[in-house]
Amino acid sequence: MSIPKGPSLAVLPMADNGASTAGPQILQPSGWPAPKGYANGIAADGRLVVTGGVIGWDHQGHLPADFVGQVRQTLSNISAILAEGGARPEHLVRLTWYVVDMEEYLASLKTLGQIYREILGAHYPAMALLQVVRLVEKAAKVEIEATAVVPR
């Protein structure tokens, strides 16, 4: 009996930014097209830093009215939470995005990419994006959960 062989797996080191080489590694199955703006998978070993669902509230509890403004503040909030836990954006291994309007997200991709790189840099962890009916905070248009692994 022969067993079908799946694709081989390439383990690629993250971009060299002077950080420890023990940091997250991108998992990219051989022959798969390279993803744009995310990773298919990440392998990491270290201390886990996890956020809850983060929305775009500022320090005074105000939420921007527009989608892009909420994403900008949400990513800034995630960066602040990571720092509080001793992590940096390059330690991110997963982001899960919840949006209430997929069309608004898709129409904003170029601007969202610029904002993402401005706040989190050119590190793209595994990501998932889901459209939801609404979020707990009624005015929120986006909520993001983040997981980071700080190398030992």
Q: Residue 122 domain-assigned?
A: yes
What's the token pair of residue 117?
A: 């790189």
Q: Taking the mean position of all CA atoms in its chain, how far away is CA 72?
A: 13
Burial 50-63 (b: 16+ CB within 10 A, else e): ebebbbbbeeeeeb
The per-residue pLDDT for range 35-59, each reduced to its tens digit, is 888 888 988 899 999 999 999 999 9
CATH number at residue 58: 3.30.1330.40
The per-residue pLDDT for range 134-149, each reduced to its tens digit, is 999 999 999 999 999 9
Domain that holds residue 100: 46-150
Number of domains in the chain: 1
Looking at the whole model, is its pTM more than 0.85? no
